[in-house]
Amino acid sequence: MPDASSASAPVPGAVVVWSGATPTVQAFRIPAAGLILGRELLENTSDDRISRQHARVVWRDKRFVVTDLGSRNGTYAGGHALVDREVTVIAPSIVRTGRTVSVLMEDIRRFEGAKISTQHDAIVGASTHLLWKDVEQAAADASHLLIIGEAGTGKGRMARGYGRMRGRPDAVFNPTIQAVPLERIVGPSIETLILEQVGKLGTANLAALTKLLDSRPALRVVTTAVTQLDHLMPADIAKRLSTRVIQLPPLRDRPDEMAYLVHDAIRSAEPALQIHSTLIEACLLRPWPGNSRELVAEVSRTAHTVAAQGKNNIRGEDLANDAGHLMVGAPTMNAAVQPTEVGKQARKPRTSRPSSD
């Protein structure tokens, strides 16, 4: 029987997020002998470019060793072809085998048995499932709620979900786009207030907010911010609004949801386009500082451009070079790629070959 320390130890593995032409979430632990990525491993894949045994992944010295097993269409790690047959990569790293895209991670436990669903107008996977449960509990307990996250992560969507869960009359106030005082927005029937851009509230609105909190015991406030509220407003108000706090992770830490976001964005923009696995690979390799908002906007714009050119397939190279702010030194999912001894043998200067599929 495993002890508590072994039960809580990270489990390295591969999370398959795309196969063939559809998003998926399949998590696989890496056994001592290594994990074989290929058609034998996957459930009901439509990938006609992946070999039965395509590539092997071994966990060694806190790194992944990826070896192509003589596949017809090659293996790609971090967007680069394994022309030297084998490389060592640092987690998290993106591996493409045929038209299947996997993310190698140091701990895959949260993705095991995970499902993707659409709830509260949001794509909910293992990366945010428990956070949405926390939102539900906060709504049931009628607690004030603070949602913290980078711009574009979906804080507003989560805040509106809180309002729907409460089922009480609600109002949204954003001082940067509503040129009216707060008290005019929060009428006598309002019981849920969604506050955005709280750092721009100003003295008069902060005073009005304090008065509302003091005089309206049924009023609950859900606040979205990029940092803790005590950096944005007086400490006493910040403390009252932070009864419960949820940290929403950036999109780059939610690979299970990213592939579904790309799929849905293209289906909404240009339903006839076929999605190539290199597009999913390219999206996973970029940091997306604007998160979901930026991803959906860029992918949708690219889909319109590709369709206007008469193409029926959208690929990674169709994305603009600056989409997702791909730059030297930016935090990405491709991590460091190092050749192993196998790859170093007879190594010659080369450039990455284009995808053969």
- pLDDT digit string, tens, across residues 174-183: 999 988 999 9
323 DSSP assignment? T
User: Which residue do the tokens 């397939």 mark?
Assistant: 313
Beta bridge partners of 58: 65
The burial class, CB within 10 Å (0-12 / 13-18 / 19+), for 216 is middle
Percentage of the chain beyond pLDDT 70 is: 89
Q: Which of 115, 117, 91 lies closest to 104, judged by CA?
A: 91
Q: Could you count the other beta carbons within 10 Å of the beta carbon of residue 239?
A: 12
Q: What is the mean pLDDT of the chain?
A: 89
Give how far the C-alpha of residue 200 lies from the chain's centroid of Cα atoms, to the nearest Å: 28
Domains of the chain: 4-112+333-344 (2.60.200.20), 129-247 (3.40.50.300), 251-318 (1.10.8)
Q: Would you give the DSSP letter of residue 188? A: T
Residue 356 clears pLDDT 70, i.e. is over it: no
pLDDT of 88 reads 94
pLDDT tens digits along 87-124: 999 999 999 999 999 999 999 999 999 999 998 889 99
Residue 169 pLDDT > 60, yes or no?
yes
> Rounded distance, CA 159 to CA 346, Å?
57
> What average pLDDT score do residues 293-298 get?
95
Q: Convert the pLDDT of each residue in 317-355 to its tens digit.
A: 999 998 997 444 444 444 444 444 444 443 344 343 344
Task: Give me the pLDDT at residue 349, please.
Answer: 42
What pLDDT does 65 receive? 96
Q: What is the pTM of this model?
A: 0.86
β partners of residue 56: 36, 67
Could you tell me the pLDDT band of residue 205, with boundaries at 50, 70 and 90?
Answer: very high
- Long-range CB contacts (< 8 A, 24+ apart) of 201-210? 201/175, 201/233, 202/175, 205/175, 205/181, 206/233, 206/234, 206/237, 208/181, 208/182, 208/183, 209/182, 209/237, 210/237
Q: What is the pLDDT of residue 345?
A: 46
Question: How high is the pLDDT of residue 121?
Answer: 87
What integer pLDDT is reported at residue 6 of this predicted model?
55
Give the pLDDT confidence score for residue 329 in this predicted structure. 42
> Around 205, how many Cα atoms within 13 Å sit in the side-chain half-sphere?
21
Tell me what the mean pLDDT of segment 140-162 comes to.
96
CA gap 263, 126 in Å, rounded: 18
pLDDT more than 90, % of the chain: 84
DSSP state of 180: S
> Which strands, in side-by-side order, build the sheet including 35-37?
35-37, 55-60, 63-68, 86-89, 337-339
Question: What is the model's pLDDT at position 340?
Answer: 45
pLDDT of residue 119: 87
pLDDT the model gives residue 352: 39
DSSP state of 191: -
Mean pLDDT of 288-304: 96
Q: At what angle do helices 255-269 and 277-284 cross, to 10 degrees?
A: 130
pLDDT band at 7 (very low <50, low <70, confident <90, very high): low
Q: Could you give the 3-state DSSP secondary structure of residue 229?
A: helix
- DSSP assignment of 253-306 equals G-HHHHHHHHHHHHHHH-TTPEEPHHHHHHHHTS--TTHHHHHHHHHHHHHHHH
- Residue 24: its pLDDT value, please? 95
Q: Is the pLDDT of residue 50 over 90?
A: yes
Min mean pLDDT across 46-50, 81-85, 235-239, 279-283 is at 81-85
CA distance 205 to 21: 50
Structure-block tokens of residue 143: 């607690």
Which two tokens mark 286? 């970029």
Pairing status of strand 100-105 against strand 13-19? antiparallel
Q: How confident is the model at residue 287, as a pLDDT?
A: 94
Strands (E) across 40-92 are located at 55-60, 63-68, 75-77, 80-81, 86-89
Distance CA 214, CA 222 (A): 16
Whole-angstrom Cα distance, residue 177 to residue 183?
Answer: 15
79-88, 182-191, 245-254: least confident range? 79-88
